[in-house]
Structure 1
Amino acid sequence: MLKKSLRTALFSFTAVGALSSSQAFAQATDAAQAAPAAASTGGGLSDIVVTAQRRAENLQNVPVAVTALNQDTLGNFRVTDVSDLTGLAPNLQILSQGLQSIPTISIRGISSGVSNNSVDPKVGIYLDGVYIGRSVGAIFDLADIERVEVLRGPQGTLFGRNATGGAISLVTAAPTGEFGVNAYASYGNYDAFRTRVTVNLPALGPLSVKVTYLHDQNNGYMKNLIGGRSINLSLRDPSFGTLTYGDRFGAKNVNAFQVAARLQATDNLTVDYKFDYTQSKTMGSAVQLLGTPAGPTAPLAGGILAFQPLFGGITNLSTTRLDPVANATSPEDLNVQGHNVTVTLHANDNLEVKSITGVRSFDQQPNIFDLAGTGGIRFTAGQLAALLQGNVPGVFNPAVAPGPNDSMFSLLTSRKTRQKQFSEELQFVVTTKAIDLTAGLFYFHERSPATDILGIFQPVANGVVIPTPFDSIFGSGVTESIAVNSSMAAYAQGTYHVTPKLDITLGGRFTADNRETILIRTGSPGVGGGGILPPGTYKKSYEKFNYTGILTYRPTGDITAYAKIATGYVAGGILSAIPYNPETVASYELGLKSELFNRRLRANFAGFYVNYKDLQIQTFQNGVQRFENAGKARIWGVEAEIDAIPVERLTLSGTAGYTDFKYLKYVSELGDITDIVRANYIPKWNVRLSGQYDFPEFGGGGNMYFRMDGRWQSKAYPGALPTGVPALDALAVTRPYWIVDGRFGLVNLPMGGVKLGASLWVKNLLDKNDVFVFGPQVINQTAEFLVGRTFGADVTVKF
């Protein structure tokens, strides 16, 4: 019963959100050279071209809620990490928790970030048109991003399954065919050093090539009190061997390489090849304890914490930010690479045919993360046995006292995984005076093995993780599986221009998914009883039709109004040999896009209402981890994006989003908890305000600028359920906070045949150290705090 209750509690946290992190990627235009991008000739706002409907279109004419961040915009915000995208689009939330490998991305209240290889994300990520199948596989430090498009709302027709929240499209730059060098270097506190060199080679006939190298490192923002210690996991799984805890939290060392080649075979035929490779070694975030939630293990967890002062242990227990802390977290070694071949044929003035072929893979080496923040605790298996038997004096028996290298995890998590994927998409884009049509065929296949070690109240004797009889009580052990998934789809979306002002768009997509899980083992090696479920191969297939309907009206050339209905679904799957069904979404949206006052004001608005059915909830039943379709929800909200040039050389911009998420039905192993469950990590309000002033040109084209950016979000809850301890509930809330950034710089200064740029920047200017993310409300309530103020200088040279 204890095992069942504990596991139910453990995974209730991940019912609507999971262990997550952020990864780094580089902007194509560096901050030192990016600033003056707002105004076009004549002093108005520049046109923005997007491919939100799989064809190049002006942002203001597209009946889609999309935020486009081009080279200059990314540079202006100094986007060097996926988490930096938070707040740049309304209702876009990206959490950074734990290891720097799994981004949890939430768009309009629908989150993506589960790391299990049998569970698909809910926000699709695309790189140059290639779908990234795994959240871990999205970890790449790209050296030449040309633009980022954030599409909000279901994209089930043109982008397919696993985009119920929306999609993020990353587009890298193509070679220019002209010789050029763009070199960038940045240095900041915590010994942060970042450099990038891009070389465009002269065209060799019809062939153009560009090569980029990037290096990014820092020394971490906080010391780990137990850094350098080792832990041996061989008795759980020999392939994990011995891991060493990292010295400093947040440290990283990344090397990335990219090649882009374009072959202009004929006037009508273009072949683009792109290769990216990222090798990273990163350290997770610091985790500390706030308290112990109510539950079956509360007396045990609380007792172990209470004894720590007597045995020299480190609890990391505090309601305010600690520096340093002690976490049993090892650096994470991750290699990601991908090949992409895009062939574009302009058959005639009305037809374009495109083939997008992608091959990608990642390899995540064994790592350990101290999810419960208790790696500094000193306790032994003998002491645990005494405490479970109610023999408190036995805890002080010298025969079972902890040695200098003995410890105990409240919650140990260790994993290794890898993935290979292949995808092919064939697109047909038809453009006529009366009709625009986009149609295509899509195929995706992946194979992803993974091994996970879970230890609950896990003793570590002299640095070695040891199986114990308690494994069968708490559910500790090893799970090894292989996910083999494939998907096929056919889609079409057409727009009929009824009049020059009125368009009708209809689209549909049929998808067939085949899911397979090869379960190699589950259970507790070294403990009698074997696996929970027998090894075997488990298969399941799903079919789904999604549709889109849009009515677009343009009363003038500067105003676009639209009404839209769109559906989407997240594929079902198999977890712990138990199938679960797809999750579906139907979204209703009204939007208005406008450019006013001679294009000095751009104001875009959207309102949406979403029905969310067959909500996939991760839980445990009868000791088995599973996903079940246990819920319904409704979401409604509004969004605004405004850019303005009120006077010459001054640019103001801002975004605002409101999301109201409510569960209509939530049934778990605990029963019907609809009345008490709450949306987690979904702030109702999020706001961004930005201002930039460009000083008059000097020195033959040089320009100085000053820029400030502020992002604010309202409070959010970290878990679906209260902790059961009122004092802890009062702490376990992400409070409203502002993050303010600033930069002063110089761009495009001609000097000796080159153009120079330099800037001074600061992030988190107000040095906020609020709690921004919480760990699972299991055994111990943990928290991570915002990284404090960072600052530095950038230099760019172009020729």
Structure 2
Amino acid sequence: MKTLPHRPLYLALAALTLGTAIPALAQSPGESTGLQEARGRGGALEEIVVTAQRREENLQSVPIAVTALGSEDIQQMRVVNIEDLSSLAPNLNITNQGQQTTPALAIRGVTSGTSDNAVDPKVGVYVDGIYVGRSVGAIFDLADIERVEVLRGPQGTLFGRNATAGALSIVTAAPTGEFGIGASASMGNDDARRGKITLNLPEWRGLRTKLSYLHDEIGGYADNLIGGRTIDVSARAPGFGALRYADELGGKDVDAFHFAAQYDATDRLTVDYRFDYSDSETVGNPQQVVGPLPDQTGQLWGAVLAFQPLTGGITNIADEQLSAVAAASSVERLETLGHNLTLTWDLNDSTTLKSITGWRELEQDPNIYDLGASGGIRFTEAQFIALLSGNIPGILDPAVQPGPEDSFFSLLTARSTSQEQFTQELQLQVSSDQFDLVTGLFYFEEESPAHSVLGIFQPVADGVLTTNPVLDPLFGSGTTITTANNDSSAAYAQLTWHLNDSFDLTGGLRYTSDKREIDIDSLAGATGAVLGLGNYKVDYEEVTYTGIATWYPSADITTYAKVSTGYVSGGLLSGIPFEPETLISYEVGMKSQLLENRLRLNLAAFYSDYQDLQLQAFLNGRQFFDNAGEATIQGAEAEVEWLPVEGLIVSASLGYIHHEYEEYLQRTADGSFVDITDDVEQTFVPKTTGRLSAQYYAPAFGNGLQLYGRLDGVYQGDTVLTANTLRDPEGNVSPLNDEREIDGFWRVGARLGLAGIRLGDSEISASLYADNLLDEEYYPNETTAFSMTRMYARGRTYGLEINFTL
């Protein structure tokens, strides 16, 4: 991987010189491990400690809507990457966008998920306090997750830009300082194999270390009818070569490594280092066609589909899930790695200085994904030109019929990208009986080159993609080579004033300066000319703030009223600038511990005003963003944990969202705007989300043996997957419009196990698990590119898992 040309080493050296601290989202030796498991093994729910305000606090006293999942929940529910968190917190929905490495995340009605290197995500993802700057690579397997915190609502003061919807904070496990080995292995259907081993080494002169390794693989869940064929894209992208279509779709093979070290340099100085590495090979999920769109280009594609019985093509058209489809999708290899060097310097008993230094990289090899589900279509350039001219006999001419390696794409996309980022944060924390203060400086720098191939109504002759002087200018096919260089610096402070034992006032302010730059080396447009080459720069400044009033009517109840803001960075797409989008949220909440700590009930309600929405637009073959939308979002959330009897814990959550566009302007072919506010809805935002879980540990028997069982139900309510109302050229609503929304469904998981099996000094547990136990057939994603295509989810999975500790 390349090195950033202006990597700010002076910041890292300054941090080392200062001897400052670990990130607020990590742990110091001797402190709480962060999240104490709320398990039903005692007479009360245990305390949960979170770091949502960049310092350790009891979940029930924090005036923020936050859901915390500990290591036991993560294991029992088989949460192995970010996507598995979907609906585990109220108003949280996560799915991949076909390719498994790029997530679409939605929190409280704000959706994030573009794969473009010039566009920032709207949900902040953090690993051990380090911001993950790109959506590509935000879903990756970590070898040793300790806990996950889901922060809902804008976090613009303490977390900064691109946390408009909220933040996902992943914290990896710290070393214990005592010798220990932990291992787990599981086998299941679909050729699933998963193994993990962790080694804690004894403390040596203040140094504690820990190593973890993870292997996770599963086969695809649909056969590829054109698997093994290749497409050579060298003419468009010389470095890509020939890409081979995978034999199965939806599979993955991952190896991940994690290393953690903590060192007590002095009584007041602690050094904390983390390293994570992930090497994954995944294949995009299978797509199948519902039908061509009713607009003019959709009708043109429908005509191509109509000739497939004559040309021998495979349309992938079906109204239920297929076990085999034709897909021009290759294996996607993605490598990610991260370094996190943090130091904590306790200046005195009430003041701590911290430094958080991070370096992350990702490398995505060239790959192709059949987003339009058109890899099995057989049609030639000559046939398509005859179709455009209405020459039906010309289409049927034997001389122009497709050969066995000929294909025709409605939408062809091939891509490779990489990214390197450096972050440095200096943070000061002060705690006293009168106030708590968190203040700091933050710097972020990234370089991200990307190489993309786009083909629209693209013929491929004999497995070779070439430039087409007739069709490329007509539809805007071509190659884009860009390099994004982005810097961001910020200063922030948040003060909580304890007016008395029952009332706090909190105020926070953050100033951020963003510098965005993009180099465009190749950009094809619909005129056939190369457009917009050169270097483009824009600068933005934003101020975000937080205000909270917190009232503690008793030791077991916290109530709060809150206003907070966030923003998503502006930038440059195709050399065209777009402004930041902003959100202001008003929230009230209540948190309570009842029935002598046997019942935990947390409630929240919110209203958000969303301005200057970055809306995707196309004009003259160029993709860009217009700040041409406004929306209001309101909703409510509830979370419950209950310990009815010893050994049994029941937990539930419910989220409700009402999202409404107040303005939505869309570009027309002549560059003007048309108001389609009444014809558009927000996508990937379920109206309701819910979770119901129960876990029971039976009384021990024999020599400490213990049976346990767990049942999890996750509910995703009605969800719009296609934003625009589908109309024909005359303006009539198409019958296909009824397919824009998926009905609500439950996804059920279960586990039955036996713990406490002793073997010398070691302990073994074994369990049977199942996910999607009811084999629910659902499709979490849908695209509309000339036809409506669906990505169905994997069906029921099940297997055996064994855990070992020494």
Whether these two folds match at TM > 0.5 is: yes
Matched, 1:485 2:486: yes
> Which of 733, 748, 751 is the aligned partner of 1:740?
748
Give distance in 1, aligned partners of 2:640 and 2:490: 37
Residue of structure 1 in register with 2:699 after alignment: 696
Which residue in 2 is equivalent to 1:405? 405
Check conservation: 2:273, 2:339, Cα contact below 8 A: yes
* Pair 1:133-2:141 in alignment: no
1:287 maps onto 2:287 in alignment: yes
Q: Secondary structure at the match of 2:181?
A: strand
Is residue 610–residue 632 contact of structure 2 (8 Å, CA) maintained in 1? yes
Q: Measure the CA separation in 2 of the matches of 1:218 and 1:742.
A: 19
Moved more, 603-612 or 304-313: 304-313
Partner of 1:504: 505
* Alignment match, 1:638: 636
Question: How far 1:529 sits from its partner (Å)?
Answer: 4.3
Contact 1:37 1:72 in 2 (8 A): yes
User: What residue identity is the alignment partner of 2:697?
Assistant: D
Aligned to 2:122: 122
Give CA deviations for 1:420-446 in whole Å, capped at 9, x if unaligned.
000000111100010000001000000
Q: CA RMSD in A?
A: 1.3
Distance 2:84 2:706 in 1: 25
Cα distance in 2 for partners of 1:107, 1:715 equals 16
Q: Distance in 1 between matches of 2:372 and 2:292?
A: 11
- Contact kept, 8 Å, 2:157 with 2:492, in 1: the verdict is yes
Aligned pair 1:715/2:714, yes or no? no
Alpha-carbon distance change, 757 to 387 in structure 1, aligned in 2, over 3 angstroms: same
> Are 1:571 and 2:572 an aligned pair?
no
Rounded to whole Å, the distance in 1 between the matches of 2:554 and 2:756 is 37
* Helix, strand or coil at the partner of 1:464: coil
CA distance, structure 2, for counterparts of residue 102 and residue 613 of structure 1:
26
CA contact (8 A) 1:642 1:655 kept: yes
Deviates more, 1:537-546 or 1:646-655: 646-655
User: Counterparts in 2 of 1:390-401, with a 5 A limit?
Assistant: 390-401=390-401
**Distance verdict in 2 for CA 1:783–1:39, change over 3 Å:** closer
Alpha-carbon contact 1:735-1:771 (below 8 Å) kept:
no
The separation in 2 between residues aligned to 1:244 and 1:42, in whole angstroms, is 55
Distance 1:279 1:200 in 2: 23
Matches within 5 A, 1:50-89: 50-89=50-89
- Is 1:202 matched with 2:202? yes
List aligned pairs for 1:313-332, cutoff 5 A: 313-332=313-332
Counterpart for residue 335 of structure 2: 335
Deviations 1:396-424 (A, max 9, x none): 11221100100011100110000000000
Asked if the contact 1:319/1:731 (under 8 Å) is kept, the reply is: no
Is contact 1:185–1:194 with CA below 8 Å preserved after alignment? yes
The one-letter code sitting in structure 2 at the alignment partner of 1:191 is D
Once the two structures are superposed, the pairs formed by residues 267-666 of structure 1 within 5 Å of their partners are: 267-468=267-468, 469-523=470-524, 529-533=528-532, 535-666=533-664
SS of the residue aligned with 2:403?
A: coil
In terms of mean alpha carbon deviation, does 290-299 or 60-69 score higher?
A: 290-299
Secondary structure in 2 aligned to 1:298? helix
Distance 1:172 1:687 in 2: 27
**Residue among 778, 795, 798 paired with 2:802:** 795
Q: Deviations over 1:497-541 (max 9, x none)?
A: 0010000000000000000011111017xx9943022x1110000
SS of alignment partner, residue 240 of structure 1: coil
1:279-333 Cα distance to aligned partner (Å, 9 max, x none): 1111110000000112121232011101111111100001111111111000101
Quote the residue 1:6 is aligned against: none
2:740 and 2:247 map into 1 onto residues whose CA distance is 28
C-alpha separation between the residues in 1 aligned to 2:38 and 2:705?
A: 16
The question of whether the paired residues in 2 share the 8 Å contact of 1:188 and 1:793 is answered with yes
Matched with 1:47 is 47
CA distance in 1, matches of 2:37, 2:753: 14
Pairs aligned (count): 760
How many Å apart are 1:495 and its aligned residue? Answer: 0.3
Shift of 1:139: 3.7
Distance 2:330 2:268 in 1: 52
CA distance in 2: counterparts of 1:398 and 1:740, whole angstroms: 53
1:631-654 deviation line (CA, Å, top 9, x unaligned): 000000000000001122221110
CA shift digits 1:325-371 (9 cap, x unpaired): 11100010111111110101111111011100001100001000000
SS in 1 for 2:83: helix
Alignment map for 1:20-31 (pairs within 5 Å): none
Which SS does the other structure have where 2:243 is aligned? Answer: strand
**What is residue 25 of structure 1 aligned with on the other side?**
none
Q: Does 1:778 align with 2:779?
A: no
Q: What's the CA shift for 1:42?
A: 4.7
Q: CA deviation at 1:700?
A: 4.0
Deviation of the 1:105 alpha carbon: 0.8
Quote how far apart the aligned CAs of 1:765 are. 0.9
Query: Which ranges of structure 2 fall in alignment gaps of 5 or more residues?
Result: 1-35, 669-673, 728-732
Shift of 1:703: 2.1
Runs of 4+ with deviation above 4 angstroms: none
Distance in 2, Cα, partners of 1:100 & 1:367: 12
1:175-211 per-position Cα deviation (integer Å, ceiling 9, x unaligned): 1111110011010001100001110111221111111
> Partner letter of residue 387 of structure 1?
L
- The TM-score with structure 1 as length reference comes to 0.94
Q: Which residue of 1 aligns with 2:730?
A: none
How far the C-alpha of 1:797 sits from its partner, in A, is 0.5
Structure 1 contact 699–750 (Cα < 8 Å) conserved: no
**CA offsets 1:464-517 (integer angstroms, 9 cap, x no match):** 012211111111001111000000000000000001000000000000000001
Distance 1:83 1:327 in 2: 23
Separation in 2, partners of 1:40, 1:783: 41
1:706 is matched by which residue type in structure 2? G
User: 1:540-586: CA deviations, max 9, x gaps?
Assistant: 00001110000000011100000000011111101111110000000
Q: Say whether the 8 Å CA contact 1:595–1:602 is kept in structure 2.
A: yes
Q: Which has the higher mean CA deviation after the structures are superposed, 584-593 or 318-327?
A: 318-327
C-alpha spacing 1:583/1:735, structure 2 compared with 1 (3 Å): same
**Structure 2 counterpart of 1:495, which letter?**
T
Shift of 1:731: 2.4
Q: Say whether the 8 Å CA contact 1:104–1:111 is kept in structure 2.
A: yes
Aligned-pair distance for 1:615? 0.5
Distance 1:68 1:325 in 2: 39
User: Residues 361-396 of structure 1, C-alpha deviation per residue, up to 9 Å, x if partnerless?
Assistant: 000010000000010011111111111111011011
| More deviation, 277-286/671-680 | 671-680
Query: Any idea what the Cα deviations from partners look like across 1:35-78, whole Å, max 9, x if unmatched?
Result: x9534775111110100000000000100000011111212222
AA aligned opposite 2:775: D
5+ residue gaps, structure 1: 1-35
8 Å CA contact retained: 2:472, 2:528: no
- The whole-number CA distance in structure 2 between the counterparts of 1:41 and 1:497 is 35
Give deviations 1:665-698, integer Å, cap 9, x for gaps. 1111141111221111211111111112210012
The amino acid across from 1:673 in the alignment is I
The residue matched to 1:256 in structure 2 has which SS? Answer: strand
| Alignment check: 8 A CA contact 1:221 1:251 kept | yes
Give the distance between the partners of 2:344 and 2:248, measured in 1 at CA: 47
Aligned letter for 1:626?
Answer: F
Out of 672, 685, 688, the position equivalent to 2:688 is: 685
Question: Does residue 235 of structure 2 align to residue 228 of structure 1?
Answer: no
Counterpart CA distance in 1 for 2:704 and 2:92 is: 36
Question: Following the alignment from structure 1 to structure 2, what is the Cα–Cα distance between the partners of residues 714 and 39?
Answer: 28
